[in-house]
Amino acid sequence: MAGGGKVTERDQDPEELIISYQKYLASKPLDILALYLQLRCTPIGADYPKEVFIRTPVGLITHLLKSCHEDERRRANIGSISTAKLTQVVISVAQAFGGSKERNRTKISDFLPFELDQQSSEVEERTKEILTKLIKSQRIPAHVIAALSPHITPG
């Protein structure tokens, strides 16, 4: 291989090279202006004048945009938690006035504007299951159970 381990056009199979060029030409062109405007609308956008933006690698820009969007989603969910809890209370009261004997089975995540991270939700559910089993088997001291109670009880 020429170039110290890098694959050059001469080293590639001509058919693979043609296929890679076809994929490149068939892809949607990168709209630099739209990317710049997206970045400027984020909280870190004020730190990115045009001169700095032009010299920043596209991979870093996409990473920054993803991080900002995830942060916005997280902030929106955090801001909506009190409304979601209030909604649960209203549903419970409505069920009680309606004469329902069943417990409210809604989750806070049902009322949040964005989906929660699935992996962390699964880990939290498994942790709750393990703690519940340990409490039922009475392997945890009472003071630890009292401290964990707010995190284990539903709602």
| Co-location of 84 and 154 in the same domain | no
83 and 108 in a common domain: yes
In this prediction, residue 2 carries a pLDDT of: 46
The domain total for the chain is 2
Give the model's pLDDT for residue 10: 60
Asked, for residue 138, whether it belongs to a domain, the answer is yes
CA angle 68, 74, 76 (to 5 degrees): 105
Q: 129-151: per-residue pLDDT in tens? A: 887 787 788 777 777 777 777 66
36 and 77 part of one domain:
yes
The reported pLDDT for the residue numbered 48 is 82
Q: Who contacts 112 (Cβ-Cβ below 8 Å, separation ≥6)?
A: 77, 80, 81, 84
Position 154 scores a pLDDT of 58
Instruction: Based on the fold, state whether residues 99 and 58 are members of the same structural domain.
Output: yes
What's the pLDDT tens digit per position in 41-83? 888 888 888 888 888 888 888 898 998 888 888 888 888 888 8
Query: Rounded to two decimals, what is the model's pTM?
Result: 0.53
**Which DSSP string do the residues of the chain spell out, in sequence order?**
--SSSPPPTTTS-HHHHHHHHHHHHHSPPP-HHHHHHHHHTSTTGGG--HHHHHHS-HHHHHHHHHHHHHHHHHHHHHHHHHHHHHHHHHHHHHHHHTT--SPP---GGGGSSSPPPHHHHHHHHHHHHHHHHHHHTT-S-HHHHHHHHHHHS--
Domain with 102, as residue range(s), is 14-116
At residue 19, does pLDDT exceed 50?
A: yes
Distance, in Å, from the CA atom of 92 to the CA atom of 35, rounded to the nearest integer, reads 46
> 54 and 25 in one domain?
yes
The answer to whether residue 5 is domain-embedded is no
Phi-psi map region of 37: left, alpha, beta (phi>0 left; psi -120 to 50 alpha): alpha
Whether residue 82 is found in the same domain as residue 152: no
